[in-house]
Amino acid sequence: MPGLRVRWSAPEARKPYARPFGVSFIDDSGTALGGVAVSGADLLYYRQFKAAVLSLTGELFAMDPVEQHEDQQRAWLDVVATLLPPAKALEVTARSEFDHERGRTFSFHVACDGEPVATLDAATLLEYQELQASLAHQSGRLYRNPEVEAVDDPRLRAAVWERSLRHMLARPDPSEAIAESWPWR
């Protein structure tokens, strides 16, 4: 059965407009038929991957087991999970920065098994799939949370993700926190 190989480049991931994932298309005999370079989002979102392949090669891409699955995105993530190392035990730390236009804002530094791997903004951190794509882009690893992915309803999925995030996100340093006691957590 034809397949894929994926290579991630750390130096490439840090460039503007980066496409750090090299995806090779492999035939039944194991011969590479060519490839494309894509971003983390292009790799993790199935429809976006198909669009990237079409845009970069002029060829339609379809993977039969994914196409036949009722939840193509989940099936595609199962495929991608076999191609990328997993990101486990995420720890998220809020760090303030001063922006001359917006004032003080926080960015979120993500560590995986104690190793710093990514920096995200608040909007990306709050959206599970955006976090997955950005983390993959910056680290070459795939984060999956089975509890979140088990929920089909988008509103409920967001709530489950935020509950998980509460356990990963360390409060800001007391010198930067809005209040010592924050009742909305």
Entry pTM = 0.89
- Of the candidates 179, 167, 160, 33, which has an alpha carbon nearest to the alpha carbon of residue 89? 167
The answer for 103, left when phi > 0, alpha when psi is -120 to 50, beta otherwise, is left
Strand, coil or helix: what is 174?
A: coil
pLDDT per position as a tens digit, 85-132: 999 889 999 988 888 888 888 999 999 988 999 999 999 999 999 999
Mean pLDDT of the region 145-164 = 95
Which residue reads 């950005």 in tokens?
134
- pLDDT over 80 at 174, yes or no: no
Please enumerate in sequence order all residues whose Cβ is within 8 A of that of 51, keeping only pairs 6 or more positions apart, or say none. 42
User: Is residue 172 very low, low, confident or very high in pLDDT (cuts 50, 70, 90)?
Assistant: confident
Using a 10 angstrom Cβ sphere, with 0-12 exposed, 13-18 middle and 19 or more buried, the burial of residue 164 is middle
Mean pLDDT of the region 152-156 = 94
Beta strands at 103-112 and 21-26: parallel, antiparallel or unpaired: unpaired
What pLDDT shows up at residue 185? 61
Percent share of the chain, pLDDT over 70: 95
Reading across the β-sheet that carries 21-26, which strands appear in turn? Answer: 3-8, 21-26, 32-38
